[in-house]
Amino acid sequence: MGLKHAISIVLLLGVAARPAHAAEAHLLHYTARLHGLPLLDISFCIALTDTAYASAISARTLGLAEFLAHGRSEGHAHGSIEGLRVKPAAYDEQGRLSGEDHTVAIAYPHGDPVLRELTPKLEKTRLPVPPDMLPGAMDGLSAIVLETLVATRTGACQGQALVYDGFQLRRGTTHTAGVEVLKTDPRSIFAGQALRCETTSVMLGGYLKDTPIKPQAKPRVSTAWLAPLSPGGPTLLVRLSFDADFLGDIIVDLDRASEAAECK
């Protein structure tokens, strides 16, 4: 995985969103680093109630990444919650990477994703995702909300999700890898006990046409650490690590957090 590909993955992981029925919104700011060098500036917002959610993300390149692949991205998702399930209602994303704009709009009129808008078009670069593979899929922001919901209500991170961003379809399988104490680090505002979650992600569709499928379908493993930032609060992402192949691990640390009436 090259640096531009790694940057695009973080940008496309994703956060101003629609209000979730007066839920208290958690505003989180992260910095992604490669070998200690700032790579991405990420702002994330999540608002949860018993029955609804809203989420939003914005990200922009920093440092060497800004020089090699100037990029920015922002996305929004909202939907309903039933028990330990999320039911997305809509997702949209706009951004620019290496001089190319991208726009995605996905609706869920009957519970499954329907692509309403997509630029650039896929025909020249990617194989289309077969429609019969999309039932049950959700966007990446809703998948983050799902992991947060399950961790908050159960204290674990077991589960599986199909994630569709308009360009590709991936299956993520997450399991609890124990509880770990994160040490004080000047790059993070969090130190203490955190739930460690490991996710294996496999691409199922939307392969690049000019690249062999086998390396694209290689399982990708990431590790997330989640913890409440205040007593009784939701279990939120405080650190993320994922492999960028020969480049090494990209580490994402929480460096600011605040609260608001809603995500904007």
Q: Which two tokens stand for residue 194?
A: 């955190």
pTM over 0.85: yes
Of 48, 57, 65, 70, the closest CA to residue 29 belongs to 57
Predicted pLDDT at 6: 46
* Least confident residue range of 133-137, 171-175, 209-213: 209-213
The partner residues of 86 in beta bridges, in order of sequence, read 81
**Environment class of 76 (CB within 10 Å of its CB; exposed 0-12, middle 13-18, buried 19+):** buried
Q: Are 160 and 172 in contact (CB under 8 A)?
A: yes
**Mean per-residue pLDDT of the chain:** 89
Please write the tens of the pLDDT for every residue from 157-189: 989 999 999 999 999 999 999 999 999 999 999
Predicted pLDDT at 122: 81
204: enclosing H helix or E strand? strand 192-205
**Mean pLDDT in residue range 231-258:** 91
**Mean pLDDT in residue range 10-27:** 52
Q: Are 13 and 228 in contact (CB under 8 A)?
A: no
Predicted pLDDT at 63: 85
Q: Is the pLDDT confidence value at 48 over 80?
A: yes
